[in-house]
Amino acid sequence: LDTINRNMLDFDFEKLCSVSLSHLNVYACLVCGKYFQGRGPNTHVHTHSVNENHHVFLNLETHRFYCLPDNYEIVDGSLEDITYLLNPLFQKDDIKNLDTNVGMVRAYNGLTYYPGFVGVNNIKANDYCNVIIQLLSHISPLRDFFLQPENYQEQIKRAAAGDHMTLLVHRFGELIRKLWNPRNFKTHVSPHEFLQVSKAVIFLILCTSNCLYSVSMSL
């Protein structure tokens, strides 16, 4: 476990194997941060573990950790912060206190920030939609709804079956939870996964647009 490099971990990007570009059965290497498919012999994960001498991987769907190429599961409480980074969860009491808690927190990289007030990466020309994302994330009823995935669990199940609009709901919820995560490793998040889903409906990544028009389209 001492080979894990938390500075390299970033779960904001689309969860695709960096070799096959498949969404299926994807693992994150916790040493270099790259995504690979599989786990058994002759898979991209297995090959990477042997060739690069990287041995600790996280299944991005089941949130379980494995040591490869020995292929055994790792259960260790010290990895909980990585699981939380991948999938931040909020209790009802946490949500109630968001608007009254004015304390700063410290990210893993040492920088301090206010949860909910973190930078949103500009991938290409999506600065206009970053403004809208920040705006929507501070509308308390909307924020509180999306901070609890159980509120839209049915949409998540349908998203797994490939429903585009419900996948949009799922990705937006993930982004809101990452923006308000009090245990981030960095003081910024990327909207990449959300934009990949929403670009066919609302937001464009490669060209700028009018914020007011985009807001009217998103509501």
CATH code of 170's domain: 3.90.70.10
> What is the full per-residue pLDDT of the chain (219 aa) written as tens digits?
889 999 999 999 889 999 999 989 999 999 999 999 999 899 999 999 999 999 999 999 999 999 999 999 999 999 999 999 999 999 999 999 998 888 899 999 999 999 999 999 887 777 888 888 999 999 999 999 999 999 988 766 766 666 667 788 888 999 999 999 999 999 999 988 888 887 655 555 555 555 555 555 554
Tokens for 184, please give them.
Answer: 């981030």
65 and 93 housed in the same domain: no
Residue 28, classified by CB atoms within 10 Å of its CB into exposed (0-12), middle (13-18) or buried (19+), is buried
52 and 149 housed in the same domain: no
Domain-terminating residue out of 82, 97, 124: 82
Distances in whole angstroms, Cα of residue 24 to Cα of each of 35, 37, 64, 94, 96: 11, 7, 15, 33, 37
| pLDDT tens per residue, range 17-51 | 999 999 899 999 999 999 999 998 999 999 999 99
For 146-201, give the DSSP string: HT-GGGGHHHHHHHHTT-HHHHHHHHHHHHHHHHT-TT-SSSEE--HHHHHHHTTT
Contact 6, 22 (CB under 8 A): no
Number of domains in the chain: 2
- Count the residues in the chain: 219
Domain-terminating residue out of 82, 99, 130: 82
Question: Hey, is 137 helix, strand or coil?
Answer: coil
Could you tell me the residue range of the domain that residue 112 belongs to? 89-218
Q: For all residues of the chain together, what is the average pLDDT?
A: 87
| pLDDT tens per residue, range 149-175 | 999 887 667 666 666 677 888 889 999
120 and 172 housed in the same domain: yes
Tokens for 76, please give them.
Answer: 């260790």
